[in-house]
Amino acid sequence: MALIPFASSSSISLPKYLHEDQNELSQECRHLMSSLPRDKGWVVNHLFNYQGFWHTTRQLQGVLASQKLFQAQQTDLFLVTTPKSGTTWLKAMAFAILNRDRYPCNNDHHPLLYSNPHDLVPFLELKLYVDNNVPDFTNFVSPRLFSTHMPYISLPDSIKNSKCKIVYLCRNPRDTLISLWHFTNKLRPKTIGNISLEEAFEKFCKGVSLCGPFWDHVLEYWKQSLEMPERVLFVKYEEIKEEPKVHLNRLAKFLGYPFSVEEEKLGVVDEILNLCSFDSLSNLMVNRMGKLLTGEDNKAFFRKGEVGDSGNYLTPEMIQHLDVITENKFIGYGLEV
């Protein structure tokens, strides 16, 4: 097997999911990688195309380990996104909904006040990326709440074949791209400098982005939500922004934790929305100064949290180009983003 060369020196200060050190990978992953199509990553050296989607080295190991080892329970709940679609926000809202009896949102000790949502709701594939062991999920109370960026095709069979529910959050490709571009440049080692918007745009349009092609990721889950509406809920970032109450209610109902009339009267829905809002989360000490268990600065997950910020960066030609791709990809599926 030909080993792929890695520039390990640039990985040292990166979060673990971006490390490329082959010594930490399973034999199976190393073998597979040598036969997969690869391209240059946005932050790290390589992205690998597995089952039609692009992954970093560690993420690929996590996907493989999830497929092999993860045993879903019928009551599990999954929050699925492409990177930079509002994952942090969705995690906060789902956590607050599910745990509101244990942790009322008006309580000064609510976990969201002291932990970043990513530490409260782990990414399944990141939990599994290190040494191929099944991590200890036994401290998770039922229903277990997970998140993932995995495309539908790569989900473990035990998830696909179970009754567990999936919430898919989609964001428009323009804002997703701009958010990803900013995030990438926060992570890029100083020695290699920033990735230009033009390069990021070209890669994104070609589908070569983390868990991309963006459009294929979205479309897979959209189709599942049409086929199995009781199992897959498809929500849009922009729609939650527009009508937060409506969508928080919808989310709670789908997850099996609807708000009672009494709770509505007491303002519980508003309390959750306030607690999870961009302004509230991004101003907490933990999210201004803290780091995730996996090493990222918490503040990297909060930038502007607005709809349409891409208009400040993309040229009209770029926007048109993205819109044409979107139209061509989604034609006939009744999906608008």
Ligand X SMILES: Nc1ncnc2c1ncn2[C@@H]1O[C@H](COP(=O)(O)OS(=O)(=O)O)[C@@H](OP(=O)(O)O)[C@H]1O
Contact 129, 62 (CB under 8 A): yes
- Identity of the residue, 250 or 304, whose beta carbon is nearer to ligand X in the bound complex: 304
Query: Which one is catalytic: 110, 149, 217, 247?
Result: 149
Q: Does 225 bind ligand X (CB under 6 A)?
A: no
Contact 217, 53 (CB under 8 A): yes
Q: Does 302 bind ligand X (CB under 6 A)?
A: yes
| CA–CA gap between residue 297 and residue 149 (Å, rounded) | 19
CA 247, 253, 256, 261 dihedral sign is positive
Q: Does 278 bind ligand X (CB under 6 A)?
A: yes
- Identity of the residue, 67 or 287, whose beta carbon is nearer to ligand X in the bound complex: 287
Using CB under 6 A, which residues numbered 65 to 94 contact ligand X?
Answer: 81, 83-89
- Identity of the residue, 263 or 309, whose beta carbon is nearer to ligand X in the bound complex: 309
Contact 276, 97 (CB under 8 A): no
Q: Does 304 bind ligand X (CB under 6 A)?
A: yes
Distances (CA, A) of 239 to 142, 178, 227, 236: 29, 19, 21, 5
Q: Does 188 bind ligand X (CB under 6 A)?
A: no
Please report how close the Cβ of residue 206 comes to ligand X at its closest, in angstroms: 20
Stretch that binds ligand X, among 67-75, 104-112, 151-159, 302-310 (CB under 6 A): 302-310
**Structure-token pair, residue 130:** 């290190």
| CA–CA gap between residue 12 and residue 24 (Å, rounded) | 14
Please identify which residue in 125, 175, 220, 271 interacts with ligand X, judged by CB under 6 A: 175
**DSSP conformation letters of 95-143:** HHHHTTTTS-TT-TT-GGGTS-HHHHS-BHHHHTTTTSPPP--TTSPSS
Annotated catalytic, 149? yes
Please report how close the Cβ of residue 211 comes to ligand X at its closest, in angstroms: 9
Q: Does 276 bind ligand X (CB under 6 A)?
A: yes
**Structure-token pair, residue 154:** 């790569």
* Residues shown for the chain: 337
Stretch that binds ligand X, among 49-57, 135-143, 222-230, 273-281 (CB under 6 A): 273-281
Please identify which residue in 42, 205, 305, 335 interacts with ligand X, judged by CB under 6 A: 305
Q: Does 223 bind ligand X (CB under 6 A)?
A: no
Distances (CA, A) of 213 to 27, 59, 134, 209, 218: 27, 16, 29, 7, 9
Q: Does 301 bind ligand X (CB under 6 A)?
A: yes
Q: Does 292 bind ligand X (CB under 6 A)?
A: no
Catalytic residues: 149
Chain residues binding ligand X by CB under 6 A are 81, 83-89, 175, 179, 182, 276-278, 281, 301-305, 309
